[in-house]
Structure 1
Amino acid sequence: MDVLQSFFGSLFWYIVAISVLITVHEFGHFWVARRAGVTVKRFSIGFGKPLWMRRGKDGTEYAISMIPFGGYVAMLDERYDDVPPEQQHGALNRKHPFARILISLAGPAFNLILAVGLFWIVFMLGKIDYQPLVGSPSGLMEAAGLTAGDRVLSVDNQPIQTWEELVESIYIGAAYSRDVNLMVASQNAAPRRVTLALSSLPASLTDKERVERIGLRPHAPATVAGLPDPTAPAAKAGIEIGDRFVSVADQPVASASEFIQAIQTHGAKGGPLKLGIVRAGQLLSLSVRPRADQEGGQTIYRIGVETVRPEIVTVQYGPIRSLGMAMSQTVTISARTVVFLKDMVVGDLSPKQISGPITIARVAAITAERGLVDFLGLLAAISVGLAILNLLPVPILDGGHIVMHSLEWLFGRALNERELWAGQAIGLAMVAGMIGLAFFNDFARLLDH
């Protein structure tokens, strides 16, 4: 049942995201085409048989179609339509190449405008995230000398405000197998610089293995925030809300994750556990016997407490500052996407980093559960990616159309039918290859999880 709910939830939010992004993209083509004097036959959200359709006063058919994965704008074109002489002035192929270039550019441009608008809303509403505090480091984080509670101030001299920024910066470095320098501040100590040796990670690692090797997790003190079950071992042992665990079986614990791991390790040995706690400034010792629960074929040991969540920070600005931040974020993601694509072509970045519809659907569902702000932020980032991908000089994509229109303008003649079909065949093959690779990576990630 949970699997079905997860599947349909992911599918729903994927349809919502794609419908919004494609509608805005196609509206860009539609809006500029109309102003260039091109006759638009149909503006459809979705493909296939129309579920709803009406004809506007402008003669355009507006439709919502059966298959919700995309949309299209159908323009009058003598290369594909039988156009009567009195309508030829509205045919796309009759327009100057510069006008056709603008029409092709409009889709990606509207996606970038949408991204700025969405990021503007995100920064005004305020994005809630964890503080960039390190919790119980292991692997490379521990080897670099980080300790629980350390605050990361910057990564490669780029300031870090939130946990999301920290994770993104580190995993970009991991994708390139490139060491990164962290400026770290410990409590009551001067900031220090440490190097995270990401170049030591084998290229063959799966995403899950890479995360484990890096050993990055948020800091949350092992402080009791709730006792949801009064019959659980913790409540029976006299543990109270506000107690902070400092040891399990005489082994120090510095965070909630260390505490949970210690309960699993020592609980499997059987018998009562000695817990060291701090209550109102006093060190106390209590004994508790963990309860063994069966989940997914595994034995999970619990004592029945909820610990406090990591410290949070809200990134929020006024309307003017938010607009500047939104534009800056859009430019940053655009530039990063271009660099990623270039590095994949030259072999500096593994094509395993490409994600497809399945990954997008899963992430869309996760962000939607977190709240409106997170979902809008994801929608904005995908909108930027959609714009940049459509500008690639691949026939059938907007970038390919721009190249063909530019060549026509340069050489003073339109591509003949043979050249046009050859370009489309090449474009279809390239796009099919990219989609196939994206799906392959998506399925590999599903198996990894």
Structure 2
Amino acid sequence: MGTLTSILVLSFLIFFHELGHFLAARFFGVHVEVFSIGFGKKVFSKVVGNTQYCLSLIPLGGYVQMKGQDDMDPTKVSYDQDSYNTKAPWKRIIILFAGPFANFLLAFLLFIAVGSMGVNKYAPIIGKISENSPAFEAGIQENDRIVMINGVLIEAWEDVSTHIQESVGKLELKIERAGSVQTLIITPKINEYQNMFGEIKQKKMIGIAPSGKMIEVSYSADKVIGFAYDQTIKATTLILTSLQKLVEGVVSPKELGGIISIVQVTSEASEAGIVALFALTALISVNLGVLNLLPIPALDGGHIMFNAYELITKKAPSERVLTSMTTAGWLLLLSLMALSIFNDIYRLTNGN
């Protein structure tokens, strides 16, 4: 059941991505010849208007085939009025960007649903306290609940971290202990820590850790939009940072995951409940949007790069450049896909 859910999630994400391209293309009068969910042999097709809508055998992908545009052969063009390549470069850029934008929009809508249904977060209850830390010296004790920092109410542990990092000078903490509220003054210290990429960084700390107790936080209608926006931005930033660390060599290529990892993680999320599944689907949707905007020929970002060049220079790249760069882009993508699948199989066979 989990595997089926994973395939449905991926198919839905791809459909939404391609729908973005489709709607933008139709808006600018470009004829869409084929709208396919999946690759390979067509198992179902129906012509509506002048567009063939189909489901193909391999559901892990999809495409919108526009008149005058072919990813496999960039030299195939059409000069009819309803052709993609006869449209102004800025219109083509919008058509290309519409796919990734649809993924960001979908993630935003999913995060609205997640925020409305309730998010599990660490409660602002103190667990471990480091010896000789500012918190230890101020008299903070285990199981104290942080109620307020510098006059701002605290709902979850992440709010504690945020206020500590944004603080200037001393912190005024109101804590609840044994039914009474006490006020403590604490001055954070700069300490080293290891981030998720294994790098040693510095940040303000007071020497406390969460107890591990969880609470469910639901957002009202006036706050859920802000929550969804923040989560979409955080997810985008995380993916961009991960790509940067991969290029810099901080993250090993062995950490790359492919379709097997996505199916596995999505299956586990579906078993954890609808909120977890929606949150993971939103993250994958953002990932799909970001990756498609990379300036790699054969991806949306690569096509945007070519059209931006034409928009600036007033001339299109030569067929030789288009062909060679597109071929190089496909080779790079196929190599990354092969590496990610190899990593997936290696992790599975080694029990990791």
Q: Normalising to structure 1: TM-score of the pair?
A: 0.60
Distance 2:337 2:57 in 1: 22
Give a deviation string over 1:141-167, Cα, whole Å, max 9, x none: 99999997577999xxxx99668x69x
TM-superposed CA distance for 1:23, in Å, is 0.5
Distance 1:325 1:200 in 2: 24
Distance 2:247 2:76 in 1: 42
**Partner AA of 1:355 in structure 2:** G
- 1:69 corresponds to 2:60: yes
Contact 1:150 1:185 (C-alpha < 8 Å) held by counterparts: no
Change (3 A) 1:439 1:82: closer
1:36 corresponds, among 12, 25, 28, to: 28
Partner of 1:48: 40
- 1:118 corresponds to 2:118: no
Deviating above 4 A after TM superposition, structure 1's stretches of 4 or more consecutive aligned residues are: 78-85, 132-137, 141-154, 159-163, 184-203
Partner of 1:403: 305
2:237 corresponds, among 332, 335, 339, to: 335
Contact 1:128 1:315 (C-alpha < 8 Å) held by counterparts: yes
Give a deviation string over 1:308-365, Cα, whole Å, max 9, x none: xx74311111223111211121122212322222232233444444332222222211
Change (3 A) 1:376 1:201: closer
- SS of aligned partner of 1:393: coil
Partner of 2:166: none
2:86 corresponds, among 94, 111, 114, to: 94
**Partner AA of 1:88 in structure 2:** D
- 1:371 corresponds to 2:273: yes
Partner of 2:96: 104
Q: Normalising to structure 2: TM-score of the pair?
A: 0.75
- SS of aligned partner of 2:60: strand
Distance 1:325 1:349 in 2: 29
Q: Structure 1 residues 363-372 or 434-443, which shifts more?
A: 434-443
- SS of aligned partner of 2:81: helix
Distance 2:76 2:321 in 1: 22
Partner of 2:6: 14
TM-superposed CA distance for 1:442, in Å, is 3.0
How many residues are matched? 316
- 1:345 corresponds to 2:225: no
- Where does structure 2 lack aligned partners over 5 or more consecutive residues? 163-172, 199-208
2:228 corresponds, among 315, 326, 330, to: 326
- 1:25 corresponds to 2:25: no
**Partner AA of 2:52 in structure 1:** E
Partner of 1:387: 289
Contact 1:133 1:150 (C-alpha < 8 Å) held by counterparts: yes
| CA root-mean-square deviation | 4.0
Contact 1:112 1:383 (C-alpha < 8 Å) held by counterparts: yes
Distance 1:412 1:318 in 2: 50
Distance 1:351 1:151 in 2: 42
- SS of aligned partner of 1:89: coil
2:315 corresponds, among 413, 417, 432, to: 413
- Where does structure 1 lack aligned partners over 5 or more consecutive residues? 1-7, 170-183, 204-216, 220-309
Distance 1:126 1:417 in 2: 53
